[in-house]
């Protein structure tokens, strides 16, 4: 899902819907990025014939020479904020719903869509608002720096609140758990929220990077499946992300390359007074470069962050539970992998395999880190 967010933000920042006809190559590449998003989603499911047909039709629609973006821009809702972006994403959303409904029942598919739609569409809406306010969508506009600044503010403050409200997150009704975690982590412990009971995943997540727009989310199945010590281990892992500034570092990995590419594109296109095919190629190079960079860097950065958070959590647990502390994290990670039906030796797009994480938690790997751990 992070890859989709990165691609969406890139599309919103670098593609001007009203310029789809004048810049056909750039618009085609935007649709190609959406097609790549579709492929990244589709490959995670055991697709049947219906899903294959849905995915194929959606991808062809997005890559059609007339181009879906141009059709949306020329429609009655093409100038209406939020509606334009929702319509642009509609084929991908419908295709995903078909895939989910084929692998699960319809109610579970709808529950999953409630979770994934704000996560996917939120950056598009916020990015579009930032692009419009920043002036980057205006003819001849060069306000890339303003747009980037607005994107940062919205991703830090607005996006976490959007997810909290749309997901229906509520404070965890377990005072003893909250008190225990605050005793362990002090004032740095974010508010602990729980997903609605309709969410069947067994997991936890850190949402946001700066207070008061930062939350730690757990699911009800996670609270039921783990022992108190294992639950402390999972929370410690999320706190490891916080202490290592992973959310801020991930945001920087999005914003800094985008700012560099935007600046370079502007200097080349305007500074050299390019026109016609030359300007189109310069415009098109931005989404190509950024999408390629994100495809290469995102999984590597995410897997490294997971191992860093694991190691911080293991050292934290050792201070509380002694030498048995790291074993609690290993046990919790095994349960989470089994609950998600993920083979223990299988890596995922954004996560190392359980075996890799288990090896990184061996005493020989933790010993060199003990002296320099962030307390």
56 in any annotated domain: yes
244 in any annotated domain: yes
31 in any annotated domain: yes
Share of the chain above pLDDT 90, in %: 31
> Do 10 and 157 lie in a common domain?
yes
> Do 142 and 251 lie in a common domain?
no
Question: What per-residue confidence (pLDDT) applies to 133?
Answer: 75
For the CA atoms of 236, 238, 244, 245, what is the dihedral angle to 10 degrees?
Answer: -150
Query: Which residue range is the domain that position 147 belongs to?
Result: 2-167
How confident is residue 330, by pLDDT bands cut at 50, 70 and 90? Answer: very high
Q: Looking at the predicted structure, is the pLDDT value of residue 6 above 50?
A: no
> Do 246 and 363 lie in a common domain?
yes
Query: Which residues does residue 356 pair with via DSSP β-bridges, in sequence order?
Result: none
73 in any annotated domain: yes
How confident is residue 333, by pLDDT bands cut at 50, 70 and 90? Answer: very high
Summarised one tens digit per residue, pLDDT across range 131-184 is 677 665 554 555 566 777 887 888 888 889 989 998 999 999 999 999 999 999
Q: Looking at the predicted structure, is the pLDDT value of residue 288 above 60?
A: yes
d(CA 6, CA 284): 17
**Average pLDDT score, the chain:** 77
> Do 143 and 250 lie in a common domain?
no
Of 263 and 77, the structure prediction assigns the larger pLDDT to 263
> Do 367 and 261 lie in a common domain?
yes
Q: Looking at the predicted structure, is the pLDDT value of residue 7 above 80?
A: no
> Do 31 and 119 lie in a common domain?
yes
189 in any annotated domain: no
Who contacts 334 (Cβ-Cβ below 8 Å, separation ≥6)? Answer: 344, 354, 358
209 in any annotated domain: no
How confident is residue 111, by pLDDT bands cut at 50, 70 and 90? Answer: confident
- The count of structural domains within the chain is 2
360 in any annotated domain: yes
181 in any annotated domain: no
Summarised one tens digit per residue, pLDDT across range 89-104 is 777 677 777 767 776 6
> Do 138 and 263 lie in a common domain?
no
d(CA 58, CA 53): 8
Mind spelling out the 3-state secondary structure of the chain?
CHHHHHHHHHHHHHCCHHHCCCCHHHHHHHHHHHHHHHHHHHCCCCCCHHHHHHHHHHHHHHHCCCCHHHHHHCCCCCCCCCHHHHHHHHHHHHHHHHHHHHHCCHHHHHHHHHHHHHHHHHHHHHHHHHHHHHCCCCCCCCCHHHHHHHHHHHHHHHHHHHHHHHHCCEECCCHHHHHHHHHHHHHHCCCEEECCCCCCCCCEEEECCCCCCCEEEECHHHHHHCCHHHHHHHHHHHHHHHHCCHHHHHHHHHHHHHHHHHHHHHHHHHHCCCCHHHHHHHHHHHHHHHHHHHHHHHHHHHHHHHHHHHHHHHHHHHHHHHHHHHHHHHHHHHHHHHHCCCCCCCCCCCCCCHHHHHHHCCHHHHHHHHCCCCC
Contact 341, 253 (CB under 8 A): no
Domain boundary among 167, 185, 219: 167
pTM of the model: 0.78
> Do 111 and 234 lie in a common domain?
no
> Do 81 and 159 lie in a common domain?
yes
Who contacts 347 (Cβ-Cβ below 8 Å, separation ≥6)? Answer: 303, 353, 356
Contact 1, 119 (CB under 8 A): yes
Q: What angle do CA 321, 310, 237 make, to 5 degrees?
A: 75
Of 95 and 241, the structure prediction assigns the larger pLDDT to 241
- Burial grade of 217 (CB within 10 A; 0-12, 13-18, 19 or more): buried
């Amino acid at each position: 899902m992070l890859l989709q967010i990165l691609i969406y933000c890139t599309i919103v920042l670098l593609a001007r819907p009203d310029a789809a006809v004048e810049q056909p190559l750039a618009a085609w590449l935007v649709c190609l990025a959406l097609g790549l998003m579709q492929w990244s989603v589709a490959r995670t499911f055991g697709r049947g014939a219906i899903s294959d047909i849905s995915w194929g039709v959606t991808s062809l629609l997005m890559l059609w020479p007339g181009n879906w973006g141009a059709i949306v821009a020329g429609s009655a809702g093409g100038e209406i904020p939020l509606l334009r972006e929702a319509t642009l994403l509609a084929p991908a959303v419908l295709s995903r719903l078909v895939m989910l409904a084929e692998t699960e029942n319809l109610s579970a598919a709808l529950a999953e869509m409630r979770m994934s739609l704000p996560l996917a569409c939120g950056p598009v809406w916020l990015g579009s608002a930032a692009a419009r306010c920043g002036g980057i969508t205006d003819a001849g506009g060069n306000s890339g720096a303003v747009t980037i600044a607005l994107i940062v503010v919205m991703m830090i403050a607005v996006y976490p609140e959007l997810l909290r409200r749309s997901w229906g997150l509520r404070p965890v009704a377990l005072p003893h758990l909250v008190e225990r975690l605050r005793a362990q982590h002090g004032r740095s412990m974010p508010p602990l929220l729980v997903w609605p009971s309709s969410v069947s995943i067994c997991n936890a997540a850190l949402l946001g990077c700066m207070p008061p727009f930062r939350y730690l989310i757990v699911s009800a199945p996670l609270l039921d499946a783990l022992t108190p010590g294992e639950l402390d281990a999972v929370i410690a892992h999320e706190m490891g992300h916080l202490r290592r500034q992973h959310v801020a570092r991930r945001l920087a990995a999005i914003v800094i390359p985008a700012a560099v590419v935007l600046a370079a594109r502007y200097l080349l296109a305007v500074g050299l007074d390019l026109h016609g095919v030359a300007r189109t190629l310069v415009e098109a190079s931005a989404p190509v470069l950024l999408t390629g960079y994100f495809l290469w860097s995102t999984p590597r950065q995410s897997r490294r962050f997971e191992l860093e958070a694991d190691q911080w959590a293991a050292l934290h647990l050792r201070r509380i539970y002694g030498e048995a502390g790291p074993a609690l994290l290993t046990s919790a990670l095994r349960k989470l992998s089994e609950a998600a039906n993920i083979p223990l030796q299988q890596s995922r797009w954004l996560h190392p395999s359980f075996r890799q994480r288990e090896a990184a938690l061996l005493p020989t790997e933790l010993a060199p880190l003990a002296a320099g751990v962030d307390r």
